Amino acid sequence: MGILVSCGAQMASLIRSAALLAATLTVSWFASQAAAQVPLSDEPLRPLPALESLKLDPRKIGLGEKLFVDGRLSEDRTVSCSTCHVLANGGMDGFVASVGIRKQIGAINAPTVFNSGLNFRQFWNGRAASLEDQIDGVVGNPKEFDTTWPSILARLGDDAELRKTFDDIYPDGLQAVNVKDALATYERSLLTPSRFDRFLQGQEDALTVEEKAGYGKFKSYGCVACHQGINVGGNMFQKFGAVNDYFGKRGGNITEADLGRFKITGRETDRHVFKVPSLRNVALTAPYFHDGTATTLEQAVEVMFLHQLGRSAPQEDKRLIVQFLRSLTGERFGSVP
């Protein structure tokens, strides 16, 4: 019996030693991976591309930047792209619905312009296939620019310096297609790499312990089923209220903006279906959703759990998810309180 006890004790000691060695080797391996900054693989989220990899013409970026703030694009010269997409405010205006020409209130919450070139469609209902198409929608909208391309080109054409810039960049000079190209090129340059991107690229200490825990919760609860890829969203359509009726709980009249894709396709299955928004810089872009009903990130997370996931979660888990979402703020903005 004594021999058996002795052997058992020795075996237990060996198991403890092996476990300790395995744990030490595992920690050492992760430390070496972090030190080498090996990009994480098999993640549902991907880091932003380097701006230089997009091979955008810097002359077009510069021209597009000037046009972005040019009020001559609107009929009364009071509204520009930057009116609704304020770069210092997360790329949007902070209103429930934007204010356009002649102080008219729009029908929907303006999405951020940052990283918009990575979205697979433009507008909440996805009616524009590209940034260039999206510009056409704004130009003709009676509550936004309320104008026409001939009118815009006539106004811009009175500017000899601007005409020369177009002539230097484009063989056919000042044309509507080139105005759209310059604007879209500038918008594609508006990438906002964050600490989270550095984490995905292998810098383990780019996120805090809580932010990494929040990322784990974000994945385990299924948020990544819709918010995935390079733009943490922006690459699919989804019904708002997939599990529980959002619009019934919200109350009030159903507006045209609430119809989502249904307004475009007429298919009943597209009623209340929207483009999933990107979550990059989401801590800066309140109010949330197409109707701007959530005023805080915490409220938005609650709505998502109830209406999209159809499940409950401890408040601590939701708090950690919010911490993770804050790490998606582009570093050009600094820290978010």
Q: Which residues are catalytic?
A: 144
- Distance from the Cα of residue 324 to its chain's centroid: 14
Among positive and negative, which fits the CA dihedral 100, 101, 102, 106? negative
Residue 281 and residue 114 in contact, taking contact as beta carbons nearer than 8 Å: yes
**How many CA atoms lie less than 13 Å away from 144 in the CB half-sphere?**
21
Helix (H), strand (E) at residue 155 = helix 149-157
CA distance 255 to 108: 10
CA–CA–CA angle 292, 119, 82 (5° rounding): 60
Among positive and negative, which fits the CA dihedral 49, 228, 117, 330? negative
List CB contacts of 216: < 8 A, sequence separation 6 or more.
none
